[in-house]
Amino acid sequence: MCNRRFPPLFLIIAASCIFFCGSASAAPVFSAQVIKVVDGDSLEVVSSAGEKIKLRLWGIDAPESRQAYGKQAKLLLAAMVKGRRVEVQGKDIDLYQRLVALVWVDDTLVNEELVRQGAAWVYERFCREHICHSWQRLEDDARRERRGLWARPKPVPPWQHRK
């Protein structure tokens, strides 16, 4: 008997749409309720169909939980979205079978707001679309104004911390 855990049907459909649409920007937007904030860039939501979905915010990387500013980044994200209805646009599926997505609460793009507040880096390795250039300017502004994680001397990006 195979013990491999298969991805939820929603992730299979989302991945198929992203692949066959040729562009993640063509992927459908759906509403969901945020039920858990895992860390500064990861959430769990419940779709209107009642399916639990693990999300990773696309294009950004927040400090790890045990890293400097990690707890603050998680608290900032929780203050924005926990218990709220959000709009989600899937862009990819990661190695951990999470839907990598853009997330909006009201009219605020959460991914972008976390960069603006100094709670996340633009994840240049994966963020290669036009919007990433404006996010990089927001990160530069936060760094210059010493907001959030940039108030600390020499913050270590999470991708270096994970090594």
For residues 141 and 94, give the distance between their C-alpha atoms in angstroms, rounded to a whole number. Answer: 29
Catalytic, 64? Answer: yes
Annotated catalytic residue: which of 5, 44, 64, 125? 64
Catalytic, 139? Answer: no
Catalytic, 56? Answer: yes
Annotated catalytic residue: which of 56, 112, 116, 139? 56
- Long-range contact set of residues 11-18: C-beta below 8 Å, sequence gap at least 24: 11/53, 11/93, 11/97, 11/99, 14/90, 14/93, 14/99, 15/93, 17/90, 18/90, 18/91, 18/92, 18/93
Annotated catalytic residue: which of 98, 113, 116, 139? 98
- Could you list the active site residues? 56, 64, 98
